[in-house]
Chain A
Amino acid sequence: MRSPSLRALSIATVVAFCVALSLVFFYAPIEAEEGFLQKIFYLHVPLAIVTLSGFVIGGLMAIAHLRTRDQRWDLRSYVTIHMSLILGVAVLITGSIWARASWGHWWVWNEPTLVSFLIIFLLYATYQPLRFAIEDPERQGRYASVFAITAGAFVPLNFMAVRLSASFVHPRVLGSSSNLPGPMMLTFVVSLLAMALLFATLCTYELAAKRTRILLKARSRILGFQ
């Protein structure tokens, strides 16, 4: 379970986070309009990008599962969505903290980016109850894959719809209207890399733990120890 690749990934994540945090607090300049509050974006935006990417990757893994009928793809898809859901909680909380400081409200219902992320989060919150409501493992995997593909396709569509919407209330870190200066862009890219590494590490860790539990159960059954 404690494989060398997992150890290397964990070390890389810790190093990347140390570098990212150093850049955020000691290198990136203070933004004039938002002030020190803008530092939340180096956490909140990479988190949101990694979370949404995780949902899409989970959908792609579900396609691989339905194509090959290989249960390992189903497990990978499940773990990726599970981890994205955990990071999704952090996205909502850090977003709310920023909203409170910037707008004076914890939540703004007429802001499309916030509400659309909540819809995606709530959609995926139904993934696990749906999955574990089905007892037959094969059917469970199949139904969960169909859900993951459908919901995974909804994520980029939803993102595009929000981008096309008329509201400009939600600040855009990356976009044609606001180009980040060099030091800020470097900090943002390193933060994004650190977050992606954290996601990969946690997924690998969870996957290894799940595989070990499955093997342990199988071994117990074979040896008749249950």
Chain B
Amino acid sequence: MIPLASTLPEQSNDGYVAAAYIVFFALILIYVTIMSIRLARVERKVRELNAEEREKEREAV
């Protein structure tokens, strides 16, 4: 069994724990941001495509 301590040990490593969690969430945030930018680009292309399609239909009529 792993021994448990009721209090914090004398030597504190709070900074390292915080750094690990911050790095992880920062990495996920960067990824989600990149994906959002790419998604916005795709949505813009869809809008352009729809507009061009409508234009072609109007010309055909």
A pairs with B:
yes
Chain B interface SS verdict (over half): helix
What string of 1s and 0s marks CB contacts (under 8 Å) between B1-14 and chain A? 11111111101111
Q: Which residues in A have their C-beta under 8 angstroms from that of B19?
A: 97
> B60 on the interface (CB 8 Å rule)?
no
Q: List 27 A-B contacts (CB under 8 A).
A: A30-B4, A30-B6, A31-B4, A31-B5, A32-B3, A32-B4, A32-B9, A33-B3, A36-B14, A37-B17, A40-B16, A43-B24, A90-B23, A90-B27, A94-B23, A94-B24, A97-B20, A178-B2, A179-B2, A181-B2, A198-B28, A202-B28, A206-B35, A209-B38, A209-B39, A220-B45, A220-B49
Q: Contacts A31-B5, A36-B9, A181-B2 given: A223-B49 contact, CB under 8 Å?
A: yes
- Alpha-carbon separation in the docked complex, A29 to B8 (Å): 10
A35 touches B27 (CB 8 A): no
What string of 1s and 0s marks CB contacts (under 8 Å) between A73-117 and chain B? 000000000000010011001100110110000000000000000
> A184 on the interface (CB 8 Å rule)?
yes
A94 touches B20 (CB 8 A): yes
Q: Which residues in A have their C-beta under 8 angstroms from that of B6?
A: 29-30
- Alpha-carbon separation in the docked complex, A32 to B6 (Å): 8
- Alpha-carbon separation in the docked complex, A178 to B17 (Å): 22
For residues 203 through 226 of chain A, which have their beta carbon under 8 Å from a beta carbon of chain B? Answer: 205-206, 209, 212-213, 216, 219-220, 223, 225
A219 touches B49 (CB 8 A): yes
Of listed A97, A178, A180, residue having the most chain B CB within 10 A: A97
- Alpha-carbon separation in the docked complex, A213 to B5 (Å): 53
Q: Which residues in B have their C-beta under 8 angstroms from that of A209?
A: 35, 38-39, 42
- Alpha-carbon separation in the docked complex, A71 to B24 (Å): 32
